[in-house]
């Protein structure tokens, strides 16, 4: 009896020890670095839905690189300083971000607002504009019309865009959300994706700041067929789609439209 108890105790010890070792190994293997991104804006918006799509795709890459992105909806900008997220994605007016921008110079703020209001020319190094300057859209439409073409509208994205694997992105988004991807949802998607691509290349522990890396080493095509980049005023230079009667009739690049001399980009 004493021997049987001793044997049982012995086997129980082995079982406990090996379970602990296995769990430790599993936790090491499964270890991913959590990378919180804060979102400020309306959770019923197209921007939010686009950002969620971007999150899913960022983690489809991240799972192979031990990176786990989290998109957290926030309302209080004070939380940025308190929590130090890896990035802020905002569809708020840039003017509302001023205090948070200045208080957190090392955190990139990716602005995806539609800037319908009079534009506040905030030129802080850590504020990045995903959507073009309003003057760029006007210039694109004017340039298109000046060639003797029909009047058309310039947009960031269209649900019928097929080139450069755009069709695949449109299909994924529709499947996941039952919505068509548009300029708002594309900008939400792009903000998460370009950040995640940048972080994957730079590494979350790198000494090179993410703000600098976004500025100088962005390698993101946004499914628009070429490398996009932030110009000297932190606007994302990118191809725009020209739309007439809900059909794509052309493409025009923002880099062809406005120069620094035009004054559109000067900071207050």
Q: Which residues bind other proteins (CB under 8 A)?
A: 57, 60-61, 64-65, 164-165, 168-169, 171-172, 197, 200-201, 219-221, 225-227
Nearer to other proteins, 57 or 184 (CB): 57
3-class SS of residue 77: coil
What is d(CA 194, CA 181) in angstroms, rounded to the nearest whole number? 17
**Nearer to other proteins by C-beta: 28 or 75?**
28
How many residues make up the chain in this entry? 268
Q: Which is nearer to other proteins, 74 or 193 (CB)?
A: 193
Which residue in 164, 144, 156 sits closest to 249, CA to CA? Answer: 144
Pick the closer one to other proteins by CB: 53 or 104.
53
* Pick 59 or 104: Cβ nearer other proteins: 59
Alpha helices in the chain, H assignment, sequence order: 2-29, 46-62, 78-83, 98-103, 134-146, 166-177, 183-202, 210-217
Give the per-residue SS3 of 153-168.
Answer: EEECCCCCCCHHHHHH
Around Cβ 143, how many Cβ atoms within 10 Å? 15
CB of 196 to other proteins, least distance (A): 10
State the CB neighbour count (10 A cutoff) for residue 141. 18
Q: What is the DSSP letter of 151?
A: P
Question: Least distance to other proteins from the beta carbon of 60, Å?
Answer: 5
């Amino acid at each position: 009896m004493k021997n049987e108890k001793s044997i049982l105790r012995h086997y129980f010890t082995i079982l406990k020890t090996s379970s602990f070792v296995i769990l430790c190994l599993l936790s090491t293997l499964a270890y991913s670095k959590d990378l919180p991104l804060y979102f400020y804006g309306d959770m019923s918006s197209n921007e939010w839905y686009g950002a969620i799509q971007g999150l899913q795709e960022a983690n489809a890459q991240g799972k192979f690189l031990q990176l786990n992105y989290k998109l957290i909806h926030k309302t209080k900008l004070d939380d940025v300083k308190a929590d130090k997220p890896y990035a802020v994605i905002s569809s708020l007016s840039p003017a509302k971000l001023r205090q948070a921008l200045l208080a957190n110079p090392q955190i990139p703020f990716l602005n995806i607002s539609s800037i319908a209001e009079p534009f506040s020319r905030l030129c802080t190094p850590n504020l990045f504009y995903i959507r073009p300057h309003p003057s760029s859209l006007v210039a694109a439409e004017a340039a298109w019309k000046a060639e003797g073409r029909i009047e058309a509208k310039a947009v960031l994205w269209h649900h019928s865009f097929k080139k450069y694997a755009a069709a695949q992105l449109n299909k994924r988004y529709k499947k996941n959300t039952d919505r068509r991807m548009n300029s708002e949802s594309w900008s939400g998607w792009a903000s998460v994706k370009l950040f995640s691509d940048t972080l994957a290349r730079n590494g979350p522990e790198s000494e090179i700041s993410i703000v600098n890396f976004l500025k100088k080493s962005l390698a993101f095509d946004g499914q628009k067929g070429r490398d996009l980049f932030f110009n000297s005023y932190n606007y994302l230079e990118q191809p725009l789609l020209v739309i007439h009667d809900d059909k794509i009739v052309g493409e025009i690049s923002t880099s062809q439209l406005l120069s620094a001399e035009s004054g559109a980009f000067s900071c207050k």
